[in-house]
């Protein structure tokens, strides 16, 4: 018996390392479940532990791979979680190559007129020195993107839209059945869901850190109504990781979860994966969707166009954040951008703190 | 049949089979454990894979009543738990007239007969029962917290009446379509099962069970075609419900097997999006015709 406890505890720990929420409660449940089935029959053990330890479809492939190594003595079908973690560790440091020289900045006429902070705010994030970056990161953490509201089916007291029969009759009852004042109710408003799709491919890597910080701020404001995904060659959901309170820890956790950091871009396929697995079921419905990318599409631009059209039909508003939008001489000419342009509601910049603040405002107005 | 009379997952599997639900090992084990451990069963899966049908079948094999609570945005306790029948209470007051004894009248006002039991209270009052909480992801997260409380106690306290406790706790089945992530606190209490699409042989068998009139060949052709559609990356891959609908539509047309013309004419039974239909007609039907020949 204690042997079983030992094995399952170790198994659950490996599952947790692989990102499955196999916590102590679930471990206890799995032990209880095992007492009801034939513990010598691998199939029964498989199902009993699976129903107890898993809690979402994304867990299943990881569970299957680990179950095979633990109980079926087979080599794992997936790369081990530890190897994956090591390869990605440290990739979330501010992705800045070198700070610009001082001489160049002294020529800047704005420098004398504006305060340091103001310059910092308008500067392209990639051109900041590490210290300035820390400052900006703190400022981003304070950005709290609130989302516009929508009317819901639920009603609340007040207004003069409709008579609230329940409350009116309840008042009558209290007064011994005497007809009294009519109570009215009105529709309740609720913030819309916010979905952030962040491109973390190679061409976007200078901005990815700031965008993830922005996403973290958004998740902090409304943890249950914000969803964050990263896109590159594949789609990764990082909402769970970004719910960690501390930005550094959250970003590190997100970095570990993203397998295709600084990879190529397959925007069309990633957006389709998002819509198939999440968007169409409801995540994108009535939501404000923000897609941050430079539109460098390595895959099929036509597919991206189709998928953006689908996204536009499902969601309330699609905002495209393109860091290059803030640069002089920008024209939305990359293949992906051109294909997506007809289906987006707003195209905004995202290269500096002020630009990110503008994104927050656009979201609030949506 | 008493819940405890199931000795192992196979017994549950056989019982489900007898009432017309063909489970795979996973479903049978999950159901067996839910019954034995008295834990809620949390089912996820593509629409139309038979999550609701499983709850119905479970009610049948445990000899209990199925109580269904369909969730929607804005659902609250008065729609899920209980509500007072205000018009009847007013009538009662009026009928009593002026001279009635106020204390007795007040007491009689909050009597069980003026209480409208909504699904959760119904499930607690009728034992044994299976409580199906359908599409929990559509409800708000406040509702989950409320649900958690009821599921933990298997009892409901009505301030005016007292506590109503279930004799035997209902077997709770929750389904979700994943439009929103359900809170971990709720999931943690449940046994989680992802309901997958059935394999070919099981799907053929399911079709034949539901529509005994169809020929073996038609059932096999339709199951093969549906399997092919599921692999083709459609916006909405057909579920078992669609397979059955499609087979039924073909049977009504007098078909004994599937061919390209019949498939094209009845495609609407299996494919529900215009984009999908265009793709299937252009790319998949020609291949399918080859395959069926």
Q: Å from A128 to nearest chain B CA?
A: 38
Asked whether the predicted pLDDT for residue B36 surpasses 90, the reply is yes
Which chain A residues are Cβ-neighbours of B78 within 8 angstroms? 166
Asked whether the predicted pLDDT for residue A119 surpasses 80, the reply is no
Hey, are the CB atoms on A51 and B178 less than 8 Å from each other? no
Q: Å from B95 to nearest chain A CA?
A: 11
Hey, are the CB atoms on B187 and A55 less than 8 Å from each other? yes
Average pLDDT over residues A316-327: 86
Question: Residue A331: what are its φ and ψ, rounded to 5°?
Answer: -135, 135
Which band of pLDDT confidence, cut at 50, 70 and 90, is reported for residue B267?
A: very high
Mean pLDDT is lowest, of A54-68, A76-90, A236-250, for A76-90
Hey, are the CB atoms on A283 and B191 less than 8 Å from each other? no
Which band of pLDDT confidence, cut at 50, 70 and 90, is reported for residue A121?
A: low
Q: What is the pTM of this model?
A: 0.70
Question: Residue B84: what are its φ and ψ, rounded to 5°?
Answer: -90, 145
Asked whether the predicted pLDDT for residue A363 surpasses 90, the reply is no
Which chain A residues are Cβ-neighbours of B197 within 8 angstroms? none
Contact between B92 and B108 (Cβ < 8 Å): yes
User: How distant, in Å, are the alpha carbons of B224, B242, B263, B285 from that of B289?
Assistant: 12, 20, 9, 6
Selected for mutation to probe chain B from A16, A24, A34, A47 (highest B CB count within 10 Å) is A47
* Other CB atoms within 10 Å distance of the CB of residue B46: 20
Mean of per-residue pLDDT scores for chain A:
79
Please calculate the CA angle A301-A302-A305 and round it to the nearest 5 degrees. Answer: 90
Dump pLDDT digits (tens) for A169-183: 888 877 777 777 888
Q: Å from B213 to nearest chain A CA?
A: 35
Q: Å from A173 to nearest chain B CA?
A: 6
Asked whether the predicted pLDDT for residue A88 surpasses 60, the reply is no
Separation between Cα atoms, residue B121 and residue B79, nearest integer Å: 10
Grouping H, G, I as helix, E, B as strand and the rest as coil, residue A159 is strand
The percentage of residues in chain B with a pLDDT greater than 70, rounded to a whole number, is 97
The DSSP bridge partners found for residue A83 are none
Which chain B residues are Cβ-neighbours of A15 within 8 angstroms? none
Burial pattern B232-256, b for ≥16 Cβ within 10 A else e, equals eebbbbbbbbbbbbbbbbbbeeebe
The separation between the first and the last C-alpha atoms of chain B, rounded to the nearest angstrom, is 48
Grouping H, G, I as helix, E, B as strand and the rest as coil, residue A176 is coil
Dump pLDDT digits (tens) for B100-148: 677 788 778 888 889 999 999 999 998 899 999 999 988 887 888 888 8
| DSSP E strand stretches across chain B | 41-44, 65-70, 82-84, 115-117, 129-134, 155-158, 162-165, 171-176, 191-194
Which residue from A minimizes the CA distance to B35? A36
Which chain A residues are Cβ-neighbours of B77 within 8 angstroms? none
pLDDT on residue B112: 87
- The residues, any chain, with a CB within 8 Å of residue B69's CB and separated by 6 or more, are B80, B118, B119, B120, B131, B132, B133, B134
Asked whether the predicted pLDDT for residue A117 surpasses 70, the reply is no
Hey, are the CB atoms on B30 and A154 less than 8 Å from each other? no
Dump pLDDT digits (tens) for A12-28: 999 988 878 899 999 99
Q: Which of these, B45, B22, B54, B53, lies nearest to B230 by C-alpha position?
A: B45
The percentage of residues in chain A with a pLDDT greater than 70, rounded to a whole number, is 85
Burial pattern A62-99, b for ≥16 Cβ within 10 A else e, equals bbbbbbbbbeeeeeeeeeebeebeeebeebbebbbeee
Complex ipTM tops 0.85: no
Q: Which of these, A319, A303, A308, lies nearest to A196 by C-alpha position?
A: A319
Dump pLDDT digits (tens) for B197-245: 999 999 999 999 999 999 999 999 999 999 999 988 788 889 999 999 9
Q: Give the position of tokens 């996973």.
A: B26
Dump pLDDT digits (tens) for A270-314: 899 999 888 887 888 889 999 999 888 777 888 899 899 999 988
Q: Å from A143 to nearest chain B CA?
A: 25
Dump pLDDT digits (tens) for B8-29: 999 999 999 999 899 999 999 9
Which band of pLDDT confidence, cut at 50, 70 and 90, is reported for residue A63?
A: very high
Tell me the two tokens of residue B105. Answer: 């009248």
- Pick from A102-111, B128-137, B149-158 the range whose average pLDDT is largest: B128-137
Which residue from A minimizes the CA distance to B180? A283
């Amino acid at each position: 018996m204690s042997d079983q406890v030992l094995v399952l505890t170790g198994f659950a720990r490996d599952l947790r390392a692989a990102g499955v929420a196999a916590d102590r409660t679930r471990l206890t449940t799995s032990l209880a479940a095992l007492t009801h089935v034939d513990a010598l029959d691998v199939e029964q053990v498989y199902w009993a532990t699976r129903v107890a330890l898993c809690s979402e479809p994304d867990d299943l492939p990881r569970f299957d791979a680990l179950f095979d190594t633990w109980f079926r003595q087979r080599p794992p079908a997936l790369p081990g979680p530890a190897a994956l973690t090591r390869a990605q560790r440290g990739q979330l440091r501010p992705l800045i190559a070198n700070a610009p020289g001082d001489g160049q900045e002294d020529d800047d006429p704005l420098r004398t007129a504006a305060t340091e902070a103001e310059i910092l705010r308008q500067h392209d994030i990639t051109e900041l020195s590490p210290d300035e970056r820390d400052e900006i990161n703190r400022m981003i953490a304070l950005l709290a993107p609130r989302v516009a509201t929508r009317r819901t089916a639920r009603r609340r007291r007040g207004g003069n839209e409709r008579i609230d029969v329940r409350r009116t009759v309840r008042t009558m009852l209290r007064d011994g059945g005497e007809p009294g004042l009519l109570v009215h109710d009105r529709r309740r408003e609720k913030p819309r869901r916010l979905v952030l799709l962040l491109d973390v491919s190679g061409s976007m890597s200078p901005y990815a850190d700031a965008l993830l910080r922005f996403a973290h701020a958004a998740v902090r404001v409304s943890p249950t109504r914000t969803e964050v995904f990263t896109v590159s060659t594949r789609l990764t959901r990082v909402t769970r990781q970004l719910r960690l309170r501390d930005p550094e820890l959250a970003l590190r956790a997100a970095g570990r979860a993203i397998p295709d950091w600084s990879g190529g871009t397959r925007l069309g396929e990633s957006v389709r994966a998002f819509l198939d697995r999440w968007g169409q079921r409801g995540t994108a419905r009535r939501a404000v969707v923000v897609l941050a990318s430079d539109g460098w599409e390595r895959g099929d631009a036509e597919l991206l166009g189709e998928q953006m059209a689908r996204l536009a039909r499902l969601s309330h508003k699609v905002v495209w954040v393109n860091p290059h939008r803030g640069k002089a001489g920008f024209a939305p000419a990359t293949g992906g951008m051109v294909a997506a342009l007809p289906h987006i509601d707003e195209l905004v910049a995202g290269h500096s703190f002020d630009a990110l603040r503008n994104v927050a405002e656009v979201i609030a107005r949506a | 049949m008493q819940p405890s009379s199931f000795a192992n997952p196979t017994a549950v599997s056989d019982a489900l089979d007898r009432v017309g639900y063909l489970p795979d090992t996973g479903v049978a084990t999950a159901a067996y454990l839910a019954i034995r451990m008295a834990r809620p069963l949390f089912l996820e899966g593509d629409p139309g894979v038979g999550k609701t049908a499983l709850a119905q079948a479970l009610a049948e094999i445990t000899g209990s009543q199925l109580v269904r609570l369909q969730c929607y945005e804005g659902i609250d306790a008065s729609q899920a738990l209980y509500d007072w029948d205000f018009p009847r209470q007013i009538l009662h007051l009026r009928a009593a007239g002026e001279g009635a004894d106020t204390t007795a009248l007040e007491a009689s006002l909050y009597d069980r007969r003026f209480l409208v039991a909504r699904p959760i209270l119904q499930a607690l009052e009728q034992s044994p029962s299976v409580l199906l909480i359908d599409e929990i992801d559509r409800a708000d997260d406040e509702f989950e917290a409320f649900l958690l409380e009821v599921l933990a106690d298997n009892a409901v306290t009505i301030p005016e009446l007292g506590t109503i406790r279930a004799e035997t706790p209902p077997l709770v089945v929750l389904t979700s379509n994943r439009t929103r992530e359900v809170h971990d606190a709720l999931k943690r209490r449940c046994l989680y099962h992802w309901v997958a699409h059935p394999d070919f042989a099981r799907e053929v068998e399911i079709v034949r069970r539901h529509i005994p009139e169809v020929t073996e060949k038609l059932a096999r052709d339709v199951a093969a075609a549906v399997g092919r559609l599921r692999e083709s990356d459609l916006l909405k891959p057909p579920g078992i419900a669609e397979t059955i609908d499609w087979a039924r539509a073909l049977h009504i047309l007098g078909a004994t097997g599937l061919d390209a013309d019949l498939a094209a004419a009845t495609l609407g039974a299996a494919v529900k999006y215009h984009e999908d239909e265009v793709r299937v007609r252009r790319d998949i039907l020609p291949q399918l015709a080859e395959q069926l020949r």
